[in-house]
């Protein structure tokens, strides 16, 4: 079982983040939702309130196999501005661990140099922030240890690809279970 941290801020796109939580947990992975807001209650981009498992400041977050950034305009801006998230991206990149981002959130990876020399996708209009990347425009793009998704409409495909990176057999089982394949 792999460990995954999914980071949330107010304004996060609920479907993108929570679909990843659901699919990864169905696939037997340990998923911990992390609030970067200083409070556990998160208000998503469509005013859905949900609670994170822990706060960013509760302690080290360097022990996972994967970190994931959901999109949403305001949520992405908050992740972009969070120095701790930025530092973790470099830790995970240097350790050659998995990093996932969907919708607007690949821009956080792009402006921090994580996508340099990689293929990536994002929500239309954020392409110029994928600095150094070859933008595919595909629904989901995996390159090395980085997985990016285009937006809310491909949340299921993105989440299955995250699971596939950690456990291909479980990804196939879950995809079949939820009628994706």
Is residue 179 in a domain?
no
Is 130 contained in some domain? yes
Residue 181 has pLDDT above 70, yes or no: no
Does 159 map to a domain? yes
- CATH number for the domain including 35? 3.40.50.880
Question: In percent, how much of the chain has pLDDT > 90?
Answer: 98
Contact 130, 122 (CB under 8 A): yes
Confidence at residue 153, expressed as pLDDT on a 0 to 100 scale: 97
> Which residue range forms the structural domain that includes residue 111?
3-172
Let me know if residue 180 belongs to a domain: no
* Digit-coded pLDDT (tens) for 90-103: 999 999 999 999 99
Going by C-alpha positions, the residue among 165, 171, 123, 125 that lies closest to residue 142 is: 165
Q: Would residue 181 count as lying in a domain?
A: no
Angle between helices 155-166 and 14-26 (to 10 degrees): 40
d(CA 103, CA 152): 7
Residue 124 resides in a domain: yes
pLDDT digits (tens, 9 = 90+) for 46-72: 999 999 999 999 999 999 999 999 999
The torsion angle over the Cα atoms of residues 34, 37, 42 and 43, rounded to 10 degrees, is: -140
Checking if the pLDDT of 180 tops 80, the result is no
Terminal C-alpha separation, the chain: 23
Give CA–CA dist 138/63, Å, rounded: 30
**Residue 63 within a domain:** yes
What pLDDT sits at residue 157?
98
Q: What one-character-per-residue DSSP string does 99-147 give?
A: EEEETTTHHHHHHTTTTTTSEE--STT-GGGSTT-EE---SEEEETTEE
117 φ/ψ sector (left φ>0, alpha ψ -120 to 50, else beta)? left
Domain count, the chain: 1
Is 25 inside any structural domain?
Answer: yes
């Amino acid at each position: 079982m792999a460990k995954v941290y999914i980071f949330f801020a107010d304004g996060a796109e609920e479907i993108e983040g929570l679909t990843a939580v659901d699919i990864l947990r169905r696939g037997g992975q340990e998923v911990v939702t992390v609030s970067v807001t200083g409070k556990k209650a998160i208000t998503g981009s469509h005013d859905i309130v949900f609670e994170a498992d822990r706060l960013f400041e509760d302690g080290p977050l360097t022990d996972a196999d994967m970190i994931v950034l959901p999109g949403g305009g305001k949520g992405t801006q908050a992740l972009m501005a969070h120095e701790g998230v930025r530092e973790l991206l470099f830790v995970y990149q240097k350790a050659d661990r998995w990093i996932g981002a969907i919708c607007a959130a690949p821009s956080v990876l792009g402006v921090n140099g994580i996508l340099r020399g990689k293929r990536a996708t994002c929500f239309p209009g954020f392409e110029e922030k994928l600095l150094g990347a070859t933008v595919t425009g595909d629904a989901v793009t995996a390159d090395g240890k980085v997985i990016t998704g285009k937006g809310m409409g491909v949340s299921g495909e993105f989440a299955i690809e995250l699971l596939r990176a950690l456990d291909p057999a479980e990804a196939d089982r879950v995809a079949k279970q939820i009628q994706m394949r």
